[in-house]
Structure 1
Amino acid sequence: MNTDARGHYLADFARVAGTLPGRGVPWLDRLRKDALDQFALRGFPTRSDEDWKYTSVAALEKQRFHATTSARTHAGPHPLMTRHALAADVGHVLVFLDGHYAPWLSDLGALPTGARLCSLADALKSAPDLLESYLTNDERQTVFGALSTAFMADGAFLRLQRGIVLEAPVHLLFLSTESAAAHHMRNVIVAEDGAQATVIEHYAGIDGITYFNNVVTSIFADGNAAIAHHKLQQDGSAAYHVGGIHALQQRDSRLESHSISFGAALARNDITIAFHGNGCEATLNGLYLVGGTQHVDHHTCVDHRQPNGTSREHYRGVLEGQSHAVFDGKVIVQPGAQKSNAYQTNHNLLLSCDAEVDTKPELKIYADDVKCNHGATVGQLDEAQLFYLRSRGIDKAVAHGLLVHAFALDVIERIRIASLRTRLQEILLARLPQK
């Protein structure tokens, strides 16, 4: 690792340590110290690390980002929020400005008894012990996750007690407006037995400025709970985004994970699901649309640890220009996880001869009574389909756009939130290649 980079982050931590929420709480102080020590020991990953073989973070490492200590107030609605707000079918909105909760821009809405929704900073200040078991569960923690744990200044905390159903979706909107800023955030979502929630985790920023979003989202689904999680990464074109989504499921729980990546110069998402109970279900859908010199990387891992688990994974990518995408999908079926059923696909559409995809679906099966299969494709637009549309009098550019739209729509239509589905359609149409 670049020792200058290591020294920079260690010095930056010393600068902001006194402002971090929950300081003075023994278990949290130890957690931060252990995480920082882990980062200092391991350093940023290089291409010699198998999980980072196709993704270089050298450009990110050279940057000198500084953690922000507070959100700057803004009179009236923020322009970015106006642009990225969703429609009325979203009932609870938490806005984070430059890595910190902005209550003057948020609207928590009406919450049922037994539901707690607040900023992580507020929870760490008022009831830190409530979070200990969730924040110290770092089984899947990466180096970037360790850095986020050390610096975590804010994020969202959603906890639903037994049987509580949150009818309207929660919109977590993270806006970035400061150049050279690092936002180390942690989101915690907890659904106790039978609870249900739908969450949209949405990132956007001013185009052209360089900033770094480093975020970890931890999801805990107890028995018979159901969580639908949607991540929309729409950062500015010069931004860096490294995220982790780590879910732990108990018996008969259901999880939907939708990961949509449109922005950032470099975006990496590590998504891990662990079945800790019998009869768990998980559906992972993903779409990435990149161009220019953008780089997007999705690493997923579904760990079937108990019997009768079902996982479905559908990822699609559209690439233009000199962009590069990576998909590394792993399904593990542990000994004793009999009757597991897993399906995984990754399809990629290259619109340029200079675009590149590295795709690696993988099955690791240690049980004998299972149904598992996977597949991946990389290709260009079907000339026969283009010819068919052109022969019906459809302009070449329109025909081209229709085929790309249909390819991406397969993932978008799996999303059940109408306003989010409409927004993704709008973004897709605006990004369709013009030829």
Structure 2
Amino acid sequence: MSTINIIKDKARELGTTQADALQPIRSAALASFDKLGVPAVKHEEWKYTRISQLFNQSYKIGTDTVDSKLNWELFRLPEFETANELVFINGVYNAAASTVRSAGLVVLPLEEAAKGEYASIVSKHLGHSAEYLKDGINALNTSFLVGGVFIGVNRSTEIEHPVYIYTINDGRAENVFAQPRTLVHVAANAGVMFVETYGSIGHADHFTNQVMEVVVEQDARIEYYKIQNDHAGASLVSTTHFRQVGKSYVHAVTISLNGAMVRNNLNMVMEAEYCESNMYGLYFTSDSCHVDNHTIVDNAKPHCLSNEYYKGILDGASTGVFNGKIFVRQDAQKINAFQSNKNILLSDTASVYTKPQLEIFADDVKCSHGCTIGRLDEEGLFYLRSRGITEATAKSLLLHSFAVDILEQVKPDAIRVYIDQLISERLGSYYGNAYPI
């Protein structure tokens, strides 16, 4: 039996064993996956990313059975002692391994939230990402809606501790197929910071199909940081979907450094006037790593501001993809929307595909987009060499200076230093000693 049929059978099995409020959503999603299937090269949004090959091998489907000796603490982020830590293992939220320190932070299993005081929020917002990602991969995650988590931030509450989300796969014995799911609701006049990271224990391959949907109410503020630095056998489709239903502020930074195939879907849906969103990304790839960044900014209401800036450094036989879309609806006047993608190729075998796009249906807007692809600045390299700096150190300095625009957008000092160290280690493996920014 093919892997896809095994996965479908497992999803149907959930339909008979999970009798809860989420079951109609699972059933509808499975029907959608049956119809849409796995995206192929003819699917325009997946033109440069071959995902079907991931379904050519067998997987252990993520379950709630976890080895008590699993040492996920290896992946803890800086200053974890004062953070809220939410742990997913093989795609399932593990409450025993997690720690909630902030009084204003609500963390519940999705199944429980769907039938309690948050039922109306779950019913209204869960699955909204499917309206923008009409492909079988998004539907597949929803069809396995078990072991997910609901995160709520109470009204007028500033969460003083960051929320760290760890997505860990146990690949010591066999390949793992994991599908974590999160719904976040940030109430009016609240603020919170999220940091997501990924890790693998063992050397087996794994495929993570993740969806995180975030609802942002009036005058709420969110900082969101995603750090991807998994091993070379790790493949990830990560969807982060922001729905700004009131005037609000979102600041998102995505750092991708390693993995077999990484696909980042980042959506900003501005459904209220005077929303602001900032989207930054840095991908630094080598060997045969493939990183695909797909972004959507949907301006549905007037007077919104969005700023999008992605940079890529590609070496070896790695591939980078950037596909950014900005929509300005007919009634969304007075929009400011900016989009830029810049890339440096370090080898003749590295490649990048970049496609910034604007679809504007209003006539009083200020929008721009652009992209560049090039190599290291030869004049800058010559200048540094003429000052007695070695070629290796000069290249390292130039690449650091290229990345600094993105790293400066990581506001927490500890997380920024942590990311900088990861990049310095990568540069050190190329050129010897690397200097921090």
Report TM bin, short chain: over 0.9
SS in structure 1 opposite 2:388? coil
Partners of 2:165 and 2:28 in 1: CA distance: 28
| Corresponding residue number in structure 2 for 1:368 | 363
Q: Indicate if the aligned counterparts of 1:207 and 1:238 stay in contact, CA closer than 8 A.
A: no
Report the AA paired with residue 7 of structure 1: N
- Deviations along 1:152-199, whole A, 9 cap, x unmatched? 222432112321211221001111122311111111111111111111
Report the AA paired with residue 31 of structure 1: I
| Corresponding residue number in structure 2 for 1:59 | 53
**Corresponding position: 1:203 with 2:203:** no
Partners of 1:251 and 1:133 in 2: CA distance: 15
Question: Cα–Cα, structure 1 residues 49 and 58, in superposed 2: closer, same or farther, change >3 Å?
Answer: same
Q: Indicate if the aligned counterparts of 2:151 and 2:184 stay in contact, CA closer than 8 A.
A: yes
| Corresponding residue number in structure 1 for 2:125 | 134
Greater Cα offset, 281-290 or 145-154? 145-154
Partners of 1:240 and 1:407 in 2: CA distance: 27
| Corresponding residue number in structure 2 for 1:8 | 6
Output the TM-score relative to the length of structure 2. Answer: 0.92
Question: Cα–Cα, structure 1 residues 343 and 270, in superposed 2: closer, same or farther, change >3 Å?
Answer: same
Question: Cα–Cα, structure 1 residues 259 and 90, in superposed 2: closer, same or farther, change >3 Å?
Answer: farther
Question: Cα–Cα, structure 1 residues 28 and 102, in superposed 2: closer, same or farther, change >3 Å?
Answer: closer
Partners of 2:241 and 2:40 in 1: CA distance: 22
Mapping for residues 190-229 of structure 1, pairs under 5 Å: 190-206=185-201, 208-229=203-224
Question: Cα–Cα, structure 1 residues 237 and 18, in superposed 2: closer, same or farther, change >3 Å?
Answer: farther
Question: Cα–Cα, structure 1 residues 45 and 88, in superposed 2: closer, same or farther, change >3 Å?
Answer: closer
Q: Indicate if the aligned counterparts of 1:206 and 1:236 stay in contact, CA closer than 8 A.
A: no
Report the AA paired with residue 107 of structure 2: L
**Corresponding position: 1:94 with 2:86:** yes
Partners of 2:300 and 2:228 in 1: CA distance: 30
Output the TM-score relative to the length of structure 1. Answer: 0.92
SS in structure 2 opposite 1:434? helix
Partners of 1:422 and 1:105 in 2: CA distance: 26
| Corresponding residue number in structure 1 for 2:435 | none
Partners of 2:376 and 2:421 in 1: CA distance: 21
**Corresponding position: 1:154 with 2:147:** yes
| Corresponding residue number in structure 2 for 1:291 | 286
SS in structure 2 opposite 1:105? coil
SS in structure 1 opposite 2:258? coil
SS in structure 2 opposite 1:103? coil
Question: Cα–Cα, structure 1 residues 394 and 188, in superposed 2: closer, same or farther, change >3 Å?
Answer: same
Partners of 1:155 and 1:424 in 2: CA distance: 28
Q: Indicate if the aligned counterparts of 1:8 and 1:64 stay in contact, CA closer than 8 A.
A: no
Partners of 1:155 and 1:426 in 2: CA distance: 32
Greater Cα offset, 258-267 or 8-17? 8-17
- Deviations along 1:302-336, whole A, 9 cap, x unmatched? 01110000000010111110000100001111101
Q: CA deviation at 1:244?
A: 1.0
SS in structure 1 opposite 2:322? strand
Q: Indicate if the aligned counterparts of 2:102 and 2:159 stay in contact, CA closer than 8 A.
A: no
Partners of 1:94 and 1:324 in 2: CA distance: 31
Report the AA paired with residue 41 of structure 1: K
Task: State the identity %.
Answer: 32
Mark the runs of 5 or more structure 2 residues left unpaired by the alignment: 432-437
Report the AA paired with residue 79 of structure 2: A
